[in-house]
Amino acid sequence: MRESKNFQTRPEKTDPRRSAWSFVNFEDCKKGQTAAKTGCTPASGEGGKKEGEGSYEGYRSLEKKLKEAQKAQGNLNDAWVKLDENDFESIEVPGFGRMSKEEVEKKAEEYDQLVDETFEKRDEFRDSLSPEDRDRVGEEDNKQEKAEEAEEDLLEEGRKLPIPRSLESLKNHPWVDEVSDERDDGDGVWVYLKNSLWNDSDDTSFVNGENIRDVLRHWRDMKVIGRSKREE
pLDDT tens readout for residues 124-135: 999 999 999 999
| Residue 213, pLDDT score | 93
Q: Phi/psi at 11 (nearest 5 deg)?
A: -60, 140
- Distance, first Cα to last Cα, the chain: 19
- The answer to the question of residue 106 being in a domain is yes
Phi-psi sector, 95: left (phi>0), alpha (psi -120 to 50), beta: left
Q: Are residues 104 and 49 in the same domain?
A: yes
* R_g of the chain, CA atoms, integer Å: 23
| Residue 16, pLDDT score | 36
State the pLDDT confidence band at 73, using cuts at 50, 70 and 90.
very high
- The answer to the question of residue 143 being in a domain is no
pLDDT over 80 (residue 41): no
Q: Which residues pair with 28 in a beta bridge?
A: 41
- The answer to the question of residue 142 being in a domain is no
| Residue 35, pLDDT score | 53
Strand order in the sheet with 189-193: 176-181, 189-193, 206-209
What range defines the domain where residue 196 resides? 162-229
| Residue 229, pLDDT score | 78
In tens, the pLDDT along 133-159 reads 999 999 999 999 999 999 999 999 999
- Report the number of distinct structural domains present in the chain: 2
CA distance 56 to 58: 5
pTM of the full structure: 0.59
Helix, strand and coil content of the chain, in percent to the nearest 5, comes to 50, 15, 40
Mean pLDDT to the nearest integer, 54-78:
91
